[in-house]
Amino acid sequence: MKFGINTFLFTFPFTNESTKWFKTFKKWGFDGVEIAIDDPAAIDPAFIRQELDKAGLACVSVCGAFGPDRDLRGTPEAQANSAKYLTALIDQAVVLGSSVAAGPVYSAVGRIGGAEPAEYKKQWATVVKNLKPICKHAAKNGVAICVEPLNRFETDFINTVDQVLKLVKDVGSPALKIHLDTFHMNIEEKCQGEAIKKAGKLLGHFHACGSDRGTPGNDHIGWDCIAKALKAVKYDAGVVIESFTKDVKIIARAAAIWRQIEPSREEIATKGLRNLRKFLK
């Protein structure tokens, strides 16, 4: 396993200047970084790769940011914009040395309302159709697109591992894999361990954070159950802390962080990493 930290906790949007955090992440003991890319045109992936190498870190994954204008089930314009964005993420992942592009790639985050069955079926077909050429590009470049179910308050489209398994089957590409997140699973799954086992060998990426979006391990989540399930499916890819604080205001608002959940970002990172290494030894 490679233990990583998501840049959402420290900066957004991520820029070339944000690489100043890399030395600190290395000092804290992380193996790599999950880089949240908002505007692919605003960064130089070759420079960032150079800075990662200098710090002795890997790019565990690139993480997408999906607003209303990036929606594979949205307007024709939003679909085209999202496809262009995902293609750019794949290309930048290659330069950054990562084999994973992760996130809720199917829709804009925050789009909820609950479509009627016929409309949902239509949206599903649209997402499947749009993902097929994107996955073809990903496969050609050795990158896995790891699809993340979100909780019911952030999407009405894919909330559970069962739903994402159906999407993977319908798209039918070896480049499409599953990205599970302990925060979302804590809301949507009956048992996180069983969800992980259902994903099995299709599990390509994993987010670890507390039940309150705080420090992993400083919460009520059953980490022993998670650890056993990850071991059972022989998971050996990235485990990334994706927690939030009020410090990065645009992310705090998007994630509904209205109070100080933990004393500091450093504590989330360092204590969280110690906990994860202990749980997942």
- Which of 193, 249, 239 is CA-nearest to residue 216? 239
* Domain regions of the chain by residue span: 2-279
Whether residue 258 has pLDDT greater than 90? no
- Which of 83, 177, 95 is CA-nearest to residue 133? 83
Whether residue 92 has pLDDT greater than 90? yes
From the number of C-beta atoms within 10 Å of its C-beta (0-12, 13-18, 19+), residue 181 rates as buried
pLDDT value of position 249: 85
Apex CA 174: angle with CA 61 and CA 135, to 5°? 65
Whether residue 118 has pLDDT greater than 90? yes
Q: What is the mean pLDDT of the chain?
A: 96
Share of the chain above pLDDT 70, in %: 100
Mean pLDDT of all residues in 221-231 = 98
Can 242 be counted among the known catalytic residues? yes
**pLDDT one-digit tens code per residue, 17-44:** 999 999 999 999 999 999 999 999 999 9
pLDDT value of position 255: 85
Mean pLDDT of all residues in 184-213 = 98
**pLDDT one-digit tens code per residue, 35-75:** 999 999 999 999 999 999 999 999 999 999 999 999 999 99
What is the bridge-based pairing of β-strands 58-64 and 176-181? unpaired
Confidence of residue 114 (pLDDT cuts 50, 70, 90): confident
**pLDDT one-digit tens code per residue, 126-165:** 999 999 999 999 999 999 999 999 999 999 999 999 999 9
Q: Count other C-beta atoms under 10 Å from residue 14's C-beta.
A: 24
What is the bridge-based pairing of β-strands 238-241 and 58-64? unpaired
pLDDT value of position 247: 85
pLDDT value of position 192: 98
Can 154 be counted among the known catalytic residues? no
3-class SS at 189?
coil
- Compute the distance between CA of residue 19 and CA of residue 107 in angstroms, rounded to an integer: 29
Listed as own residue / partner, the contacts of 160-169 with beta carbons closer than 8 Å and 24 or more positions apart are 160/188, 160/189, 160/195, 161/185, 161/189, 161/195, 161/196, 161/198, 161/199, 162/198, 164/199, 165/198, 165/199, 165/202, 167/106, 167/124, 167/127, 167/128, 167/131, 168/202
pLDDT value of position 17: 97
The answer to whether 5 and 26 are in contact (CB under 8 A) is no
Confidence of residue 248 (pLDDT cuts 50, 70, 90): confident
Which of the residues 34, 154, 188, 242 is marked catalytic? 242
Which of the residues 51, 148, 189, 262 is marked catalytic? 148
| Structural Rg of the chain based on CA atoms | 17
Whether residue 246 has pLDDT greater than 90? no
CATH number assigned to the domain covering 2-279 = 3.20.20.150
